Structure 1
Amino acid sequence: MPTLEERAAESQAQLKKRLKARTKEFGVTNDFAEYIEMMEKYLLTLERRVKRLENRHNFHSDDELDLDGVEI
């Protein structure tokens, strides 16, 4: 998965090529591939914001996340 910086440097032609490859790889429509792209960008942005807040408030958690007893 490309980073936010790689995505920002990507041309429209490169993006379309990557989305087309995703439609074939996952067997989804172009609209759904664009939706996946949007969600990936959102999650990468959210991850960056969380890290920035953790650093700003000197919070470095060693907690393991789990869901119903399964580590995630």
Structure 2
Amino acid sequence: MCVQLSEFGYSEEGSNKERRSLFITYSSLKFQKEILKRTKLKEELELNKERQEEIDERNRTRKEDSLRKEIF
């Protein structure tokens, strides 16, 4: 069992009042592991997407350079 405490606070404009809330979240360790696993997978997918975009950009640049050389 995991317990997470979080606090939220805000104040209204022109007011000296401040409101604060405390949240308590309970979840199982199995659920926390699943969230961590999904987060890691999402990060890996984003990294792979960035790498693929870099590769595509290099290939595009090489193709343009190759075409320029053929013209001259």
Greater Rg by CA = 2
TM-score (norm 2): 0.47
Which is strand-richer, 1 or 2? 2
TM-score (norm 1): 0.47
